[in-house]
């Protein structure tokens, strides 16, 4: 069945989402954002800048390093750069111990945080990392 619509798309949108056209604020400009919207905007800008600065995040090979029901860790790798990305989706902080044997990180010896509130080190063939609740961390690996 084919539906025909004679109303202009903006008119349809205005009928379905009337509040979208009654809000005088312009969230595309900083002055038009709420503090929460500005926080989200700044956070996304930071992630985009990090992605732009590090080619491994854009084009590197991806390796799955560890996961469970509330965290996921993966490596993005180019010959000149290795970046570890760890996401904690739990509602509380997590202290993770991720075995690195038989992963591309098994010879890693140093981590440097590039993004996120994170404490991390490598010892005994394991990655030990502490992440705050519902956050992401990006670490440079050497």
Task: Judge whether 93 and 130 are in contact, CB under 8 Å.
Answer: yes
Q: What are 89's two structure tokens?
A: 């989706």
Task: Provide the 10 A C-beta neighbour count for residue 121.
Answer: 12
For each of the chain's 142 residues, which pLDDT tens digit applies?
Answer: 444 444 445 555 555 666 656 667 888 899 999 999 999 999 999 999 999 999 999 999 999 999 999 999 999 999 999 999 999 999 999 999 999 999 999 999 999 999 998 999 999 999 999 999 999 999 999 9
All structural domains of the chain:
10-50 (no CATH), 55-141 (2.60.40.1180)
């Amino acid at each position: 069945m084919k539906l025909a619509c004679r109303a202009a798309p903006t008119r349809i949108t205005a009928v379905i989402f009337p509040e979208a056209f009654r809000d005088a604020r312009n969230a595309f400009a900083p002055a038009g954002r709420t503090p929460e919207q500005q926080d989200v905007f700044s956070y996304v800008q930071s992630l985009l800048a990090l992605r732009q600065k590090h080619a491994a995040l854009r084009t590197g090979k991806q390796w799955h390093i560890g996961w469970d029901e509330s965290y996921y860790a993966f490596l993005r790798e180019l010959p000149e750069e290795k970046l570890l990305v760890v996401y904690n989706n739990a509602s509380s902080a997590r202290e993770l111990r991720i075995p690195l044997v038989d992963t591309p990180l098994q010879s890693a010896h140093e981590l440097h945080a590039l993004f996120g509130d994170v404490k991390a080190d490598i010892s005994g063939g394991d990655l030990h990392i502490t992440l705050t609740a519902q956050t992401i961390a990006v670490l440079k690996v050497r």
